[in-house]
Amino acid sequence: MFLFKTTNNLRKSLSNKFFCTRYSKNHLWISINNNNNSNNNNNNNNNIIIGTLGLTENGPINKFDDVLYIKFPIIKDENQVDDEPLTISLDTISDQILLNSPIRNCKLISINQDVLDYPNYINSSPMSKGWLCKIKFSNINDFNSLMNKNEYDNYCKNKIIKI
């Protein structure tokens, strides 16, 4: 009996820390907490989902190109709805890169201050310190339509081979 309770408690604590990450063809990743999505399995799109958005290591920034500046849209009032896609601008030494969120009708809710202070975290630590922002959205289908890790890795491998 004690072992069963311990196993259930361990399982519960592990599930609280489980994150699901999906990837887009424009090399952005979005990670959501599994519990964040638990009420959305019934295709009810009215629930709010909080996701962390970042750029993958295969993204459009050259590993040796310094990110000089990052421009985010203004975080709007809670009641304002924005039909414009979320676009983040990255200025590097050699280029300006526009990143469009693969999630439609999402809202910017917070920005990673560390990335503003140290933009090269995007290159050096894209999946941890280099995350860009937090977004909220309500349509889990947009998230589920993105690639999982295996699909994304195959996409990147095939893209390199075709070039």
CATH code for the domain in which residue 26 is found: 2.40.50.100
Segment among 72-76, 83-87, 120-124 with least mean pLDDT = 83-87
Q: Is residue 114 part of a domain?
A: yes
Sort strands 87-92 and 96-100 into parallel, antiparallel or unpaired: antiparallel
Q: Is residue 14 part of a domain?
A: no
Measured in residues, the chain has a length of 163
Q: What's the whole-model pTM score?
A: 0.77
Query: pLDDT digit string (tens) for 25-63?
Result: 999 999 998 655 444 444 444 689 999 999 999 888 766
Q: Is residue 74 part of a domain?
A: yes
Q: Is residue 133 part of a domain?
A: yes
Q: Is residue 147 part of a domain?
A: yes
Q: Is residue 26 part of a domain?
A: yes
145: containing domain? 19-35+46-161
Number of domains, the chain: 1
Q: Is residue 142 part of a domain?
A: yes
Q: Is residue 7 part of a domain?
A: no
User: What's the confidence (pLDDT) of residue 6?
Assistant: 41
Contact between 122 and 115 under an 8 Å Cβ cutoff? The reply is yes
Contact between 66 and 78 under an 8 Å Cβ cutoff? The reply is no
The 3-state DSSP class for residue 154 equals helix
